[in-house]
Amino acid sequence: MGTRTVIPFGPQHPVLPEPIHLDLVLEDEKVVEAVPKIGFVHRGFEKLVEKMDFNELVYVADRICGICAFIHSMAYCQGVEALMSVEVPPRAVFLRTIWSELARLSSHLLWLGLMADAFGFESLFMQSFRIREKIVDMLEEMTGGRIILGVCRVGGVRRDVPNDALTEIVRRVKALGAEMRRLADVFLQDDSVNHRLAGVGVLTRDQAAELGCVGPMMRASGISRDTRTLGYAAYGAVDFAPIVETDGDSYARCAVRIGELFQSIDIIAQVASRIPGGEVGVKVSGYPDGEYHSRCEQPRGEVIHYVKGDGTRYLQRYRVRTPTFANVPALVKMLQGCELADVPVLVLTIDPCISCTER
């Protein structure tokens, strides 16, 4: 056994937009143990249930994270609606699905850009962000918000989008698909990219299951599980299958996210072609009573919003289990045995969203 050295990684590091700390125990250049530390920006959002009523809390849910904001508010609203037996108008449910998929496109493109930046491919980073900007523009046109959309509410959504505007959005998203294809070709076929991703951070199917992985992390290891297949929102009316890879390495995780870009475009087109007319919200009366675990598929995987009400306007408990929280144990295991130079890439391949995790 060589001499052991402990190297602190983070909380501030060039590849980390948000703070997470890892104590890396090394033998020469090989990591033999990694101990994570989070909690640098814990905000106690969940405790705000004591101060804000269940309707106001939608704004809090929307602000848990700047990347998966809309899906957080949708998951929260779904939970409260289930408690109160609110039947959301179909048009609102379809609009929620479209915005969820646009949020997924935005998030995956952001991840691709950050990943390219991490291994020093600056032009690829810029191309990813250039395409992402067009998605964010579409969200702004439809909702008025670019990142925090603020359109979800208990009982529906706050804004409608005319059908001709939806047709135009579908046309533009499909056109962006061609640009994404060129981007995807570089990620999946360029030798320098493959050199940094292929065979790095392998997680077998059994390990992924054992470690409780979710989202692309899990699907890249051959597990075909996607919360959207449970049919929440309008996903029950959409024809799609989870994108699965089997190699379990960083390349496979990249391939899953790239596959999901094109899947999202297809889902948006399907949903827009089937969206029914009618209202986009119903009036909600009464207070939530009982408990419910609402779950959705965020870009990083399954998110759980647990809501418990006691018949008053304040919830008794609100708890959010984010996908990154579920993927941290896998990161700890994945780092064991890797080279020090691969640590930044491996940390990024779980697509860490620390602001979600810290809540």
Residues in contact with other proteins by CB under 8 A are: 35, 37-40, 42, 44, 47, 49-51, 78, 81-82, 87-90, 93, 163, 166-167, 209-212, 225, 229-234, 236-237, 272-277, 291-293, 295, 302, 304, 306, 308, 314, 316-317, 319, 321, 325-326, 328-330, 332
Residue 329: CB minimum distance to other proteins, A: 4
Residue 123: CB minimum distance to other proteins, A: 38
Tokens of 161: 């989008």
Write the single-letter amino acid at 294.
Answer: S
Nearer of residues 146 and 319 to other proteins, judged by Cβ: 319
CA distances from 169 to 11, 165, 175, 199, 269 (A): 39, 6, 10, 38, 9
Nearer of residues 89 and 248 to other proteins, judged by Cβ: 89
Tokens of 69: 């904001």
- In angstroms, the CA 236 to CA 57 distance is 27
Q: Are 118 and 195 in contact (CB under 8 A)?
A: no
Nearer of residues 188 and 237 to other proteins, judged by Cβ: 237
Which three-class secondary structure string do you get for 220-241? CCCCCCCHHHHCCCCHHHCCCC
- In angstroms, the CA 197 to CA 72 distance is 30
Residue 209: CB minimum distance to other proteins, A: 8
Residue 33: CB minimum distance to other proteins, A: 11
Nearer of residues 128 and 322 to other proteins, judged by Cβ: 322
User: How does strand 30-37 pair with strand 152-153?
Assistant: unpaired
Nearer of residues 36 and 66 to other proteins, judged by Cβ: 36
- In angstroms, the CA 178 to CA 255 distance is 17
Q: Are 303 and 311 in contact (CB under 8 A)?
A: no
Residue 2: CB minimum distance to other proteins, A: 24
Q: How many C-beta atoms lie closer than 10 Å to residue 56's C-beta?
A: 13
Nearer of residues 114 and 169 to other proteins, judged by Cβ: 169
Residue 216: CB minimum distance to other proteins, A: 17
Q: Are 204 and 221 in contact (CB under 8 A)?
A: yes
- In angstroms, the CA 18 to CA 357 distance is 11
Residue 63: CB minimum distance to other proteins, A: 19
Nearer of residues 79 and 177 to other proteins, judged by Cβ: 79
Nearest to 293 by CA among 271, 274, 308: 308
- Please count the helices (runs of H) and the strands (runs of E) in the chain: 12, 8
Nearer of residues 194 and 316 to other proteins, judged by Cβ: 316
Residue 165: CB minimum distance to other proteins, A: 11
